[in-house]
């Protein structure tokens, strides 16, 4: 009765009945890899919730103050008001430390989930027409997420974050012709400035979250409107979606995923220390820190800066500052190729069709090779971001480590890409062979109770199809029969069997 009133009331006012009916029955395909984007989305939600809590206590000010809080080792030290407020959140605000650590962990998982989601979308060809627009929105979200993370960990004004900001400032400064102006406009003057914390704060809690929320809404709206892609499978075609309907199954599962992620992040935030700024001390532009690694997702930019050769071409009184290539050009080229990949691939393959069925990595060896090469490249740069730790681990000099990494950076992506390409092509050919020339045998039981194997000509499939299918299933044929019976009893015959057969 209540439901009826609500639905009727909404329909009278909004004509929502047919939309509601369609929406609640909307089908979402089930596959574990489709959860990666959902994980990123839920991390964002948790970031907004914990971040809002933190905003009530954080003070974005570079003013100096004397620390008088409960953390004894810093007693009496001159610290910034911002750093002081982060210590207050960590040691004095009840549940503040847990909230702060959940927030930081959620940021690490957020960017990680975005990247894994992008990798999934790339290798399965989900970015192809008609979803190329959404791929662009996704790449923007990756950039925005990284920027939000970087501005966030710069806020505590601790030694590590200040050093990271210093490097970012230098990268901006290196841009030809406009670098000094842009750096001064962003930071409000020569580094370090009084304004930079309050500016980063506006970026971190207003501009970037607002942009992410907008882009995320568009991203989801397009997924909703275009309907999700699905892998090939029985009854799954280009023209349908097979999976769980929004209400109630998908809602329960997705909400469940949200709570599980929130639970895991709460555990990480409660039990695993992250960014203990009180160990690093307040930022002082004259104090070095070593070893210093940034949050993992900017590690590849740091690695590029570490590996780049000492080279600064000069033309008259002009120079191309050394950090420009590794700090601006390399990420610029990488993200441009990433963003344009759907169109690059279309140019290569000439494929202009609409695609709703996903490919497996082997179905498109070229793309998979390029993808593996790209992942190798970024992975190596990320490792290079810790070249000092690696050199220590292997007991070699940092210079020796760099020499090896520089060679690897150019060789490994090519080798890995070629290996991936070859493997995919071989697997694809074997699949093709299997379908076009199926090797089939029939298993006959003799009157004595023994078995004989009879090979079956591909052409004569009809006559032996029944036996041949059985033979494919091998020794669990009997089990299959039992399961089949069970399923029939449960009222959905055939589905499990059919899935078992796929892809042959």
Contact set for another protein, span 3-42 (CB under 8 A): 25-27, 30
From candidates 62, 242, 412, 423, binder to another protein by CB under 8 A: 242
What is the smallest separation between the CB atom of 127 and another protein, expressed in angstroms?
18
Task: Output the CA torsion sign for 85, 86, 91, 95.
Answer: positive
CB closer to another protein, 95 vs 485: 95
Q: Find the shortest distance in angstroms from Cβ 84 to another protein.
A: 18
- The answer to whether 281 contacts another protein (rule: CB under 8 A) is no
Q: Are 118 and 274 in contact (CB under 8 A)?
A: no
Contacting another protein (CB under 8 A), which of 19, 259, 410, 502? 259
Single out the residue of 3, 18, 73, 288 in contact with another protein (rule: CB under 8 A). 288
Contact set for another protein, span 321-380 (CB under 8 A): 321-323, 326-327, 356
Distance CA 280, CA 112 (A): 25
Other C-beta atoms closer than 10 Å to the C-beta of 68 total 10
For the record, the structure tokens of 31 come out as 């596959």
The reply on whether position 305 binds another protein by CB under 8 A is yes
Place of tokens 């892998």: 231
| Part of the chain binding another protein (CB under 8 A), chosen from 111-119, 206-214, 316-324, 453-461 | 316-324
Shortest Å distance, C-beta 429 to another protein: 31
Question: Based on CB atoms, which residue is closest to another protein, 351 or 426?
Answer: 351
Choose which of 238, 426, 479, 482 interacts with another protein (CB under 8 A).
238
Write the interaction track for another protein spanning residues 188-207; mark x where CB under 8 A is met and - where it is not: xxxxx---------------
Burial class (CB in 10 A: 0-12, 13-18, 19+), 56: exposed
Binding residues for another protein restricted to 212-231, rule: CB under 8 A: 227
CB under 8 A: which stretch of 133-141, 200-208, 235-243, 361-369 binds another protein?
235-243
- The only residue of 39, 87, 266, 338 in contact with another protein, by rule CB under 8 A: 266
Query: In the window 423-462, what residues touch another protein (CB under 8 A)?
Result: none
Comparing CB distances to another protein, the nearer of 121 and 165 is 165
Of 119-127, 242-250, 407-415, 455-463, the window that binds another protein (rule: CB under 8 A) is 242-250
User: What whole-number distance in Å separates Cα of residue 20 and Cα of residue 452?
Assistant: 59
Residue among 441, 385, 434, 438 nearest 409 (CA) = 385
Q: Based on the shown chain and the rule CB under 8 A, indicate whether residue 151 belongs to the binding site for another protein.
A: no
Of 305 and 381, nearer to another protein (C-beta) is 305
251: contact with another protein by CB under 8 A: yes
Residues 6+ apart with CB under 8 A from 234: 495, 498, 499, 501, 502
Site mask for another protein (CB under 8 A), range 154-183, x = bound: ---------x--xx-xxx-xxxxx-xxx-x
- Residue 157 and residue 149 in contact, taking contact as beta carbons nearer than 8 Å: no
Asked if 55 interacts with another protein (CB under 8 A), we say no
> CA 56, 57, 58, 59: dihedral to nearest 10 degrees?
100
Answer yes or no whether residue 488 interacts with another protein by CB under 8 A: no
Q: Smallest distance, Å, CB 421 to another protein?
A: 32
Q: Is the peptide bond before 248 cis (omega within 30 degrees of 0)?
A: yes
Both tokens of 245, joined, read 């309907």
Sign of the CA dihedral 228, 233, 238, 243?
Answer: negative
Task: Please report whether residue 240 would count as binding another protein according to CB under 8 A.
Answer: yes
Instruction: Measure the CA–CA gap between 101 and 91, rounded to whole angstroms.
Output: 12
- For the record, the structure tokens of 224 come out as 């909703």
Of 109-117, 301-309, 336-344, 363-371, the window that binds another protein (rule: CB under 8 A) is: 301-309
Position 56 contacts another protein (CB under 8 A):
no
Dihedral sign computed on CA atoms, order 210, 211, 212, 218: positive
CB nearer another protein, residue 238 or residue 479: 238
Residues with Cβ < 8 Å from 127, sequence gap 6 or more? Answer: 121, 134, 135, 341, 342
- Could you give the CA distance from residue 280 to residue 355 in angstroms, rounded to a whole number? 51
| Stretch of 51-59, 281-289, 359-367, 420-428 lying at the interface with another protein (CB under 8 A) | 281-289
Of 55, 66, 235, 501, the one binding another protein (CB under 8 A) is 235
Under 8 Å between Cβ of 236 and 242: yes
Q: Which is nearer to another protein, 206 or 432 (CB)?
A: 206
Angle, to 10 degrees, between the axis of helix 35-55 and the axis of helix 208-226? 150
Structure-block tokens of residue 258: 């949200």
Distance CA 52, CA 204 (A): 11
Residue 223: closest CA among 138, 145, 109: 138
Residue 77 exposure: Cα atoms within 13 Å on the Cβ side: 18
Q: How far is the CB of 106 from another protein (least distance, A)?
A: 12
For the CB of residue 103, give the shortest distance to another protein in the complex, in Å.
13
Give the interface size with another protein as a residue count (CB under 8 A): 101
Whichever of 195 and 469 has its CB closer to another protein, that residue is 195
319 part of the interface to another protein, by CB under 8 A = yes
Closest by CA position to 304, among listed 392, 398, 405: 405
- Residue 320 binds another protein, judged by CB under 8 A: yes
Residues 57-96 touching another protein, rule: CB under 8 A, are 94-95
Residues facing residue 9 across a β-bridge: none
| Distance in Å, CB of 4 to another protein, minimum | 23
């Amino acid at each position: 009765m209540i439901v009826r009133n609500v639905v009727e009331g909404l329909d009278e006012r909004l004509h929502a009945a047919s939309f509601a009916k369609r929406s609640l029955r909307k089908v979402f395909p089930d596959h574990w890899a489709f959860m990666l984007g959902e994980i990123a989305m839920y991390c964002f939600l948790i970031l907004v919730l914990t971040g809002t809590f933190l905003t009530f206590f954080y003070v974005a000010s570079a003013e100096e103050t004397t620390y008088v809080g409960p953390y004894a080792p810093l007693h009496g030290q001159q610290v910034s008001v911002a750093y002081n407020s982060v210590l207050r959140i960590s040691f004095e605000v009840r549940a503040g430390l847990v909230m702060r650590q959940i927030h930081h962990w959620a940021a690490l998982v957020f960017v990680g989930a975005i990247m894994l989601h992008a990798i999934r979308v790339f290798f399965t060809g989900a970015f192809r027409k008609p979803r190329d627009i959404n791929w662009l929105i996704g790449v923007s979200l990756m950039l925005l997420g990284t920027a939000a993370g970087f501005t966030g960990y710069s806020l505590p004004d601790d030694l590590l974050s200040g050093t990271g900001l210093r490097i970012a400032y230098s990268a901006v400064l290196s841009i030809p012709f406009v670098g000094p102006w842009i750096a001064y406009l962003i930071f409000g003057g020569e580094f370090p400035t009084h304004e930079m914390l309050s500016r980063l704060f506006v970026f971190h809690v207003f501009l970037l979250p607002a942009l992410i929320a907008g882009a995320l809404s568009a991203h989801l709206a397009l997924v909703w409107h275009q309907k999700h892609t699905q892998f090939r499978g029985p009854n799954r075609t280009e023209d349908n979606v097979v999976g769980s309907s929004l209400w109630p199954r998908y809602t329960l599962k997705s909400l469940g995923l949200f709570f599980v992620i929130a639970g895991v992040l709460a555990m990480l935030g409660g039990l695993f220390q992250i960014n203990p700024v009180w160990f690093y001390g307040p930022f002082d532009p004259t104090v070095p820190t070593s070893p210093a690694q940034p949050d993992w997702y900017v590690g590849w930019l740091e690695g590029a800066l570490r590996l780049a050769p000492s080279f600064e071409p000069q033309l008259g009184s002009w120079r191309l500052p050394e950090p420009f290539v590794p700090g601006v050009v390399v990420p610029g080229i990488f993200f441009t190729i990433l963003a344009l990949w759907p169109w690059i691939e279309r140019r290569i393959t000439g494929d202009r069709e609409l695609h709703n069925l996903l490919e497996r990595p082997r179905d498109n060896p070229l793309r998979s090779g390029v993808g593996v090469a790209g992942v190798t490249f970024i992975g190596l740069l990320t490792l290079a971001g810790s070249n000092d730790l690696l050199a220590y681990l292997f007991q070699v000099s940092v210079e020796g480590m760099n020499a090896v990494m520089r060679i690897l950076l150019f060789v490994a992506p090519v080798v890995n890409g070629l290996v991936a390409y070859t493997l995919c092509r071989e697997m694809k050919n074997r699949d093709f062979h299997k379908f076009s020339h199926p090797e089939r045998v029939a298993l006959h039981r003799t009157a004595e109770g023994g078995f004989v194997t009879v090979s079956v000509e591909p052409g004569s499939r009809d006559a032996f199809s029944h036996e041949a299918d059985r033979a494919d299933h091998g020794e669990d044929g009997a089990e299959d029969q039992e399961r089949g019976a069970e399923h029939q009893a449960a009222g959905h015959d055939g589905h499990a069997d059919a899935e078992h057969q796929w892809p042959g």
